[in-house]
Amino acid sequence: MTATMRPAPSACPACAAAPAAEALAARDLPDARIALSLPTIHCAACISKIESALDAHPQVRSARVNLTLKRASIDAAPGVTADEMRALVERLGYEAHELDAGTLNATATDKAGRDLLMRLAVAGFAAMNVMLLSISVWSGADAATRDLFHWISAAITLPAIAFSGMPFFRNAWAALRQGRLNMDVPITLAIVLAVITSLWETSLSGEHAYFDAAIALTFFLLAGRYLDHRTRAIARSAAEELTALEVPRATRLHDGEEEVVSVSELAAGDLILVRPGGRMPVDGEIVGGTSEIDRSLLTGETRPVFAGEGQAVSAGEVNLTGPLTIRATAVGAETSLHRMADLVAIAESGRSRYTSLADRAAKLYAPGVHILAGLSFVGWYFYTWDLRTALNIAAAVLIITCPCALGLAVPAVTTAASGRLFRRGMLIKHETALERLAQVDTVVFDKTGTLT
């Protein structure tokens, strides 16, 4: 005889219903929106690697990396944390931090900029000294003097390149370790080949050495990278402009007394006093006082509007004439100002068809350069049967190829344009808006001057 075992009924109907309730609650939770700072990315290959890894995560809806701002914007399922995404990116060999308001303003004085400047100074000092030694060699010095100056140049160049070229070497090694190519791989190969060829020539008492070219190449590449770093730091995005309008502190009314607190301590339902000239720290409803407020940030209308009891106000609006008491309805990330900044940040980091084209071209460029350099080496070796000549030409091919601007130009232009337009009162909400503007053939104004 076979007995069929059935699970005992739950003694508590609420316990039996709990899993279904939890599942329903999970469905109602909003998606997680995570922003990461990625200070060590520098080319289109980095973008592709990080986006591919994030998109492969089963709980990530979408991921976009902005090279100009060095940020990643991630939409994920409820419950996904910033620490999970940060750990995933760090496993790829990149530095990652959760993005906050402090990180947004750190680009102008960050450690990476100072580090690049120091390496640039060392490379410049070494290049000037090696160039001075090279003048005597170029002027026809005898063999003994030439060999001596070549060895002195080597003694200056090797430690200078080892220190100054470290950003290129480190990035190239990290890329190769991950089984991919980026723009620093051909740069590193060019510098290393130039140094090896020069040491070989010097050890054989050869006539030509290229220590001056190797250190000068390092100097100019560092100069370009530093200028690019400063350009990105100066070209503040519209999202940063909006974030700068958020008020850091507010006056809260508690039992009839005023207390100045951080905006992060406010909660919905708090009473907040906004004096004339102050900016609204939260979204809320006026419960006391009358005034005029400037809403040009949200509506584009520059004329002040009357505000009285029962009227809704939004974070970022300016109180002009009288004190107002506001009951908070949305604080922090839930305010309209913060949501607007998020929309702009997503638009700036979004992928338009032109950005995608630039990224794809930059990704194909690096392997193409290596193939071309390899073919040059093989062709010249079989043509001249001279290994030194073939190495020199292969190094020259690698030296003249540095297409990083391709991966930087489109996001840099988008960021600079959105910031400039925002300062002129125009808000870009979609990444393709500027591209589609070229297709506009009719512009309609209403009586207030609003564009349609």
Catalytic residues: 446
User: Token pair 């502190």 is at which residue?
Assistant: 249
| Token digits of residue 81 | 């944390």
CA–CA gap between residue 280 and residue 288 (Å, rounded): 14
CA–CA gap between residue 98 and residue 85 (Å, rounded): 9
CB within 8 Å of 98: residues ≥ 6 apart: 34, 35, 36, 37, 82, 83, 86
DSSP for 339-390 reads: HHHHHHHHHHHS--HHHHHHHHHHHHHHHHHHHHHHHHHHHHHHHH--HHHH
| Token digits of residue 431 | 């990444």
CA–CA gap between residue 65 and residue 418 (Å, rounded): 17
CB within 8 Å of 188: residues ≥ 6 apart: 165, 168, 169, 172
Expressed in angstroms, the distance from the first to the final Cα of the chain is 80
300: left (phi over 0), alpha (psi -120 to 50) or beta: left
Cβ contact 422:241 at 8 Å: yes
Q: What b/e sequence results for 12-35 when a residue is b if at least 16 CB atoms lie within 10 Å of its CB, and e otherwise?
A: eeeeeeeeeeeeeeeeeeeebbbb
